[in-house]
């Protein structure tokens, strides 16, 4: 029997647009997370708050909600050892499994849970200088541990996200595929280059190149997240759609961050952000959500756009 997460792929291939969730850092900082502290530790220390964030996104209209495990690889967690006075890497399995269980507990019967797998912050050995580098084998090992724990916690699919290096993205996808027969969404972070009026990854890959590489690595759904905002997401998705008929996902930031003293806000409010989503769907995007700076109100308005599109296609 095929895992339930494959319904996501089947539904979008049948022409049904789906709604992802919004920002987690935004919500955790609003709830009291301090800068420099470990967001994933809140899966244990503030479980009710984390579960409430998941619930808020489902209530707002998200059909897929991800786990609070973005930085929960052993490689990334070790950065917090000194702050907490313990071996945080040894807690990777615990934090991932608990993160999956919290999202699962908030999910309605029709909701899907995506296991969030973000970058380790270690630079590939091919490029790396300094202490914080990782080989392909080290990437594979840390992502395998994370994926196994997410599966144990009950995820329906994986969300390999905000990746900057092709080697790291490929290792995460391969690890997920080796652990379980679940679909893998994989997204890269793109920077907008004003001088050239184009979007590229940190290492110069175009959206078309990224699309081909992520699919070659084994991803089932590909796309972008984070970045500048929905205006660039439209361009990126359009370029990806030119080279593939695979399902595409986009969850951009609510514009650029705006810092006033110690306070960081983002350019786009819910209505301003949602205004670009008809064009994002027209560009060929199948799953849409939002990233940094967004909250359930952003998702509520985005979900209205998606529902309207669904009614147009299925009167």
User: Mean pLDDT across the stretch 43-52?
Assistant: 98
pTM of the model: 0.97
In a domain, 198, yes or no: yes
Token pair for residue 66?
A: 């991800």
pLDDT tens for 61-110 read 999 999 999 999 999 999 999 999 999 999 999 999 999 999 999 999 99
Show the domain range for 219. Answer: 6-309
In a domain, 315, yes or no: no
Which phi and psi (to 5°) does residue 124 adopt?
-55, 145
Which pairs with CB-CB distance under 8 Å and at least 24 residues apart come from 43-47?
43/68, 43/69, 43/95, 43/98, 43/99, 43/102, 44/94, 44/95, 44/98, 47/98, 47/102
User: Mean pLDDT across the stretch 110-118?
Assistant: 99
In a domain, 269, yes or no: yes
> Is residue 262 pLDDT above 80, yes or no?
no
What H or E segment, with its residue span, contains residue 196? none
**Model pLDDT, residue 128:** 66
What DSSP character marks residue 90?
G
In a domain, 28, yes or no: yes
CA–CA distance, 5 with 176 (Å, rounded to integer): 13
Residue 114, classified by CB atoms within 10 Å of its CB into exposed (0-12), middle (13-18) or buried (19+), is: buried
**Model pLDDT, residue 314:** 40
Domain containing 171 — which CATH number? 3.20.20.330
In a domain, 1, yes or no: no
% of the chain at pLDDT higher than 90? 92
CA–CA distance, 262 with 6 (Å, rounded to integer): 43
DSSP letters, 247-297, are -EEEEE-SSSEEEETTEEEES--HHHHHTTHHHHHHTT-SEE---TT--HH
Number of domains composing the chain? 1
CA–CA distance, 189 with 201 (Å, rounded to integer): 6
In a domain, 222, yes or no: yes
CA–CA distance, 7 with 102 (Å, rounded to integer): 21
Cβ–Cβ under 8 Å, residues 186 and 160 = yes
In a domain, 73, yes or no: yes
Cβ–Cβ under 8 Å, residues 266 and 293 = yes
pLDDT tens for 141-192 read 999 999 999 999 999 999 999 999 999 999 999 999 999 999 999 999 999 9
Which phi and psi (to 5°) does residue 198 adopt?
-150, 165
> Is residue 129 pLDDT above 80, yes or no?
no
Cβ–Cβ under 8 Å, residues 21 and 64 = yes
Q: Mean pLDDT lowest for which of 205-219, 269-283, 300-314? A: 300-314
Closest by alpha carbon to 9, among 184, 234, 169? 184
CA–CA distance, 250 with 231 (Å, rounded to integer): 11
């Amino acid at each position: 029997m095929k895992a339930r997460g494959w319904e996501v792929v089947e539904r979008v291939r049948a022409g049904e647009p789906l709604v992802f969730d919004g920002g987690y850092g935004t919500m955790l900082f609003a709830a009291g997370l301090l800068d420099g502290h470990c967001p994933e530790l809140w899966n244990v220390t503030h479980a009710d708050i984390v579960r409430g964030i998941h619930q808020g996104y489902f209530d707002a209209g998200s059909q897929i909600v991800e786990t609070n495990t973005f930085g929960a690889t052993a490689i990334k967690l070790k950065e917090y050892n000194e702050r907490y006075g313990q071996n945080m890497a040894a807690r990777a399995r615990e934090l991932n499994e608990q993160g999956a269980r919290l999202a699962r507990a908030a999910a309605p019967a029709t909701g899907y849970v995506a296991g969030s797998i973000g970058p380790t912050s270690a630079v590939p050995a091919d490029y790396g200088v300094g202490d914080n580098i990782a080989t392909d084998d080290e990437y594979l090992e840390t992502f395998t541990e994370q994926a196994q724990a997410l599966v144990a916690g009950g995820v329906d699919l994986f969300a390999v996200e905000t990746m900057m290096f092709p080697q790291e993205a490929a290792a995460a996808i391969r690890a997920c595929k080796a652990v379980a027969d679940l679909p893998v969404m994989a997204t890269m972070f793109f920077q907008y280059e004003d001088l050239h009026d184009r979007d590229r990854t940190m290492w110069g890959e175009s959206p078309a190149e990224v699309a081909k590489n992520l699919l070659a690595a084994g991803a089932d759904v590909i796309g972008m997240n984070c970045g500048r905002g929905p205006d660039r997401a439209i361009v990126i998705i359009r370029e990806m759609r030119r080279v593939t008929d695979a399902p595409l996902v986009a969850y951009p930031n609510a514009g650029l961050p705006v810092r006033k003293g110690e306070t960081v806000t983002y350019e786009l409010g819910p209505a301003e952000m949602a205004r670009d989503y008809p064009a994002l769907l027209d560009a060929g995007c199948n799953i849409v959500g939002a990233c940094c700076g967004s909250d359930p109100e952003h998702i509520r308005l985005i979900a209205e756009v998606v529902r309207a599109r669904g009614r147009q296609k299925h009167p």
